[in-house]
Amino acid sequence: MRTFIVLLFLSGCGNYPGPLEAPTYEQKPRQAEAVALVWGVYPMVQASPPPIEWREDRCGDKTKAGVRYRGECYSGLYFPGGRAMIAWRGSYTVSAFAHELLHANQWGRGWEDPNHLSTEWGLVQEANELLVMMGIE
Ligand SMILES: [Zn+2]
């Protein structure tokens, strides 16, 4: 958790991270709060939530932003142990925000479910409902 707080602090202070610091990315409104809420819905892990690189790449669908990566288009991608790249589609709950954070949470618990076979994916809906309830959509 300490790493997460330091990262947020740095990102709030400008874009001049030192050579040993993780890169910082643009933050969406109330992002720290949104991350904490979603992370709190998921099982406890030692790992911190990942940094998020928001993308608004143009892909095949002109109505939706995507993440273009190595010639493919995604709503979001999580790089195990690293950042999440998530297409910003105007709000957290419409974006794959809670979804990618669950991938990160699972990785933090030492497993991965890239094909979304676990019933645990129902937690994404719960997380999104919590965001709506807290007025962070
Ligand atoms: Zn997924």
> In angstroms, rounded to a whole number, what is the distance separating the alpha carbons of residues 24 and 115?
29
How far, in Å, is the centroid of ligand 1 from the Cα of 96? 8
122-133 and 97-108 are packed helices; what angle lies between their axes, rounded to 10 degrees? Answer: 120
Q: What is the pLDDT averaged over residues 124-133?
A: 98
Compute the distance from residue 54 Cα to the ligand 1 centre, in Å.
16
pLDDT of residue 62: 76
pLDDT band at 9 (very low <50, low <70, confident <90, very high): very low
**If pLDDT is split at 50, 70 and 90, which confidence band does 54 have?**
very high
Ligand 1: centre distance to CA 14 (Å)? 31
**pTM listed for this prediction:** 0.82
Q: 33-37, 57-61, 113-117: which range is least confident on average?
A: 57-61
Ligand 1 centroid – CA 58 distance (Å) = 20
Q: Are 108 and 82 in contact (CB under 8 A)?
A: no
- Distance in Å, CA 115 to ligand 1 centroid: 7
- Is the pLDDT assigned to residue 17 strictly greater than 60? no
Residue scoring higher pLDDT (10 or 119)? 119
Predicted local distance difference test score (pLDDT) of residue 38: 98
At 71, is the secondary structure helix, strand, or coil? coil
Gap between the Cα atoms of 45 and 36, Å rounded: 13
How many whole angstroms separate alpha carbon 130 and alpha carbon 126? 6
Give me ligand 1 centre to Cα 9, in Å.
Answer: 28
How many angstroms does the Cα of residue 62 sit away from the middle of ligand 1? Answer: 22
Instruction: Assess contact for 35 and 25: CB atoms under 8 A.
Output: no
